[in-house]
Structure 1
């Protein structure tokens, strides 16, 4: 696995689409009890996680608007707004959450589809304060939907994620964690370990959560 694995805009858009399909399929048949069940993220039910994924799409739509118009539109007006989006999940019904997930994902995809070559190069600022070109937005979405599809705990695992996505994710997280060596094992398990998710690697040290 090489460092700084190259990824293209087309790659990231394909991975974001694949992750979105996994998320929507994972919640398609959940009833109220299923949505209220715990996700794999400590302290979060599936309702919290679904609301987070839906709100993320809405927030990225703000950055798409920024890239398209030049009008500064932050992902979230404040940290409190981001937290409120997650917190309202339990108050929504299963059907309302599915509708929010589907509608926000569709709006984001349509907004990205409409960007011109010039607009893709326009810079925006992420919620973490990073200044990035709009070409980074599909990768940001791919990380959210792919990783959180597994976090829902409905049967999707890192083994269901695209190999190219896992390679790019592992390279990025390894660099951010400043790791020089990785444990031996299947790529999905290594990626899960790197992101602080459940894994089956032998003798791998525990890492803190990521994303």
Structure 2
């Protein structure tokens, strides 16, 4: 909750002075304006609120009204809103989803939801990720080097699904414990171990498909410098485990 609350407040603070021209300008995501990003975040917030509202009654529902097609349509239609309309829509959506999470009892965090065939806690972590990462995507002066150690540690675990078969990543973030992602399945050849060294925020940004802010990353295999491996798609494009 603390992570979601802080991330929502940071997003609202950094968009409060955007003009109509600003929201029509490109974001850091290919082919998306800032308006696309803002419409997407509002849609995720409303969708996650729906997850919790249905979970309270023992039911599950799709994250987006209309599924993936409904999601894409809502983003395209919402992207052209004025800056003031974006702020109103986003504030309403964030208020709705945060109120839903604030109202949970301890046992409610384990209620099933449809999002990745998980539970409410998975939805909370997803909301935290969406708010933090998409604030950097807006290109409003916030970079990945602002991500907290706790957030980076969370991304290391969640984004382990992006490690390709046959690769074992040994993450060696400065000031944090090493972490190993990926392994060989029984009966498969041993994986190639690649060590990735650098600031935790740079490693997390790379795993998330974003550009590292500090440029500290170095990759090594068998003591030789190598290129960073090509990662699999974001976990939403992969089957839920």
Normalising by structure 1, report the TM-score.
Answer: 0.85
Pairing of 1:19-38 with structure 2 (within 5 A): 19-38=7-26
Rate the CA distance shift 1:75–1:175 in 2: closer, same or farther, 3 A: closer
Higher-strand-fraction structure: 2
Where 1:88 maps in the other structure, the secondary structure is helix
1:179-198 matches, within 5 Å, as: 180-181=168-169, 182=171, 183-198=196-211
Aligned to 1:50: 38
- One of 72, 75, 92 as aligned partner of 2:60: 72
Q: Distance in 2 between matches of 1:198 and 1:140?
A: 20
Give the corresponding residue for 1:17.
Answer: 5
How many corresponding residue pairs? 196
Structure 2: give runs of 5+ residues left out of the alignment.
172-195, 220-226, 237-241
Query: Per-residue displacement from partner, 1:37-86 (whole Å, max 9, x unpaired)?
Result: 11100000000000000000000011011211123322113211100121
CA RMSD of superposed structures (Å):
1.8
Within 5 Å, give how 1:1-211 maps onto structure 2.
Answer: 13-76=1-64, 77-126=66-115, 130-178=116-164, 180-181=168-169, 182=171, 183-199=196-212, 200=215, 201-202=217-218, 204-205=227-228, 207=230, 210=234
Larger radius of gyration: 2
How far apart, in 1, do the equivalents of 2:98 and 2:121 lie? 13
In 1, Cα distance between the equivalents of 2:16 and 2:61?
32
- Which structure has more RCO (C-alpha within 8 Å, separation ≥ 6)? 1
Deviation at 1:207, TM superposition (A): 4.0
For 1:46 and 1:93, how far apart are their aligned partners in 2?
A: 11
Partners of 1:115 and 1:171 in 2: how far apart?
25
Q: Which has the higher helix share?
A: 1
Is the CA contact (8 Å cut-off) linking 1:18 and 1:146 kept in structure 2? no
Aligned pair in 2 of structure 1 residues 207, 99: CA closer, same or farther (>3 Å)? farther
Q: CA deviation at 1:175?
A: 4.4
Instruction: Classify the secondary structure of the residue corresponding to 1:180.
Output: strand
In structure 1, C-alpha distance between the alignment counterparts of 2:230 and 2:87, rounded to whole Å: 32
